[in-house]
Structure 1
Amino acid sequence: MRITRNVAAVGAFAALAVGAGTVFSTTASAAPNVTPQGVCGKAYKTVNSAAIGSLGTVYLTYNSSNGKNCVATIRTNPGAAKNMSTYIYVPDSDEWAGDSGSYTSYAGPGYVYGKGHCVSWGGSIDNIYVSVENSNCAALKEHRVTEVR
Structure 2
Amino acid sequence: MRYSRSALTAMAVAALTIGGTTALASPASAAPNTTPQKVCGSSYKTVNSAAVGSRGTVYLTYNATNGKNCVVTIRSNPGATMDMSAWIYVPDTDQGAQDYGRYTSYAGPTYVYGKGHCVDWGGNIDNVYVQVTGSNCASLKEHRVTTTR
- Please confirm whether the aligned pair reaches a TM-score higher than 0.5, indicating the same fold: yes
Q: 1:19 aligns with which of 13, 16, 20?
A: 16
1:87 maps to which residue? 87
Residue 131 of structure 2 is aligned to residue 131 of structure 1: yes
AA at the equivalent of 2:9? F
Provide the C-alpha distance between the structure 2 equivalents of 1:96 and 1:59, rounded to a whole number of angstroms: 16
The size of the alignment, in residue pairs, is 145
Which structure has more relative contact order (CA 8 Å, sep 6+)? It is 1
Give the root-mean-square deviation of aligned CA atoms.
1.7
Per the normalisation by structure 1, the TM-score is: 0.90
Provide the C-alpha distance between the structure 1 equivalents of 2:143 and 2:10, rounded to a whole number of angstroms: 15
Cα displacement string for residues 127-147 of structure 1 (whole angstroms, at most 9, x for unaligned residues): 000000000012531000000
Contact residue 8 and residue 96 of structure 2 kept, 8 A? no
Query: Hey, which bits of structure 1, 4+ residues long, moved more than 6 A?
Result: none
> Alpha carbons of 1:63 and 1:26: their partners in 2 closer, same or farther (altered >3 Å)?
farther
Cα displacement string for residues 9-33 of structure 1 (whole angstroms, at most 9, x for unaligned residues): 4243343266243249454213221
2:55 maps to which residue? 55
Provide the C-alpha distance between the structure 2 equivalents of 1:7 and 1:23, rounded to a whole number of angstroms: 19
2:108 maps to which residue? 108
Q: Which runs of 5+ in 2 are unaligned?
A: none
AA at the equivalent of 2:80? A
Q: Greater helix percent: which structure?
A: 2
